[in-house]
Amino acid sequence: MAIQVSGTLLDACVLAFLAEKDAYGYSLTQLVKESLDISESTLYPVMRRLQNDELLTTYDEPHSGRNRRYYRLTEKGADRFRACVEEWKVFKGKVEKILGGDAS
């Protein structure tokens, strides 16, 4: 059985990686793909939507004669990430209680 990752949870995961440090698009997609079974074609629209929602901002840095587009959390994005963490703790506890795991 494969558990599907909802859009909200995927948003939270992208925000979590960016809460650690800024990342350029490809490296961010690889970080997420290492943790979740998600395709790059799924992630770029997520990143654009988060940017449109003013949770991320971008900037370009030159690298080997090309520009890399980096993503950074905005203050609004950091606030959303903190809210996601709290919501996750509650949700996780409820699911663990239902499935019989340790809800600590």
What's the CA gap between 80 and 4, in Å, rounded?
22
Quickly tell me which residue has 């790059």 as its tokens: 40
The model carries a pTM of: 0.85
Angle at 18 between CA 78 and CA 69, to 5 degrees: 120
How far apart CA 70 and CA 25 sit, in angstroms, is 6
Written as six digits, the tokens of 18 are 């960016």
**What pLDDT score does 5 carry?**
76
Token pair for 6: 């909802």
Q: Does residue 45 surpass a pLDDT of 60? A: yes
> Which strands form 56-63's sheet, in the order they lie side by side?
23-24, 66-73, 56-63
Q: Which of the four pLDDT bands, split at 50, 70 and 90, describes residue 62?
A: very high
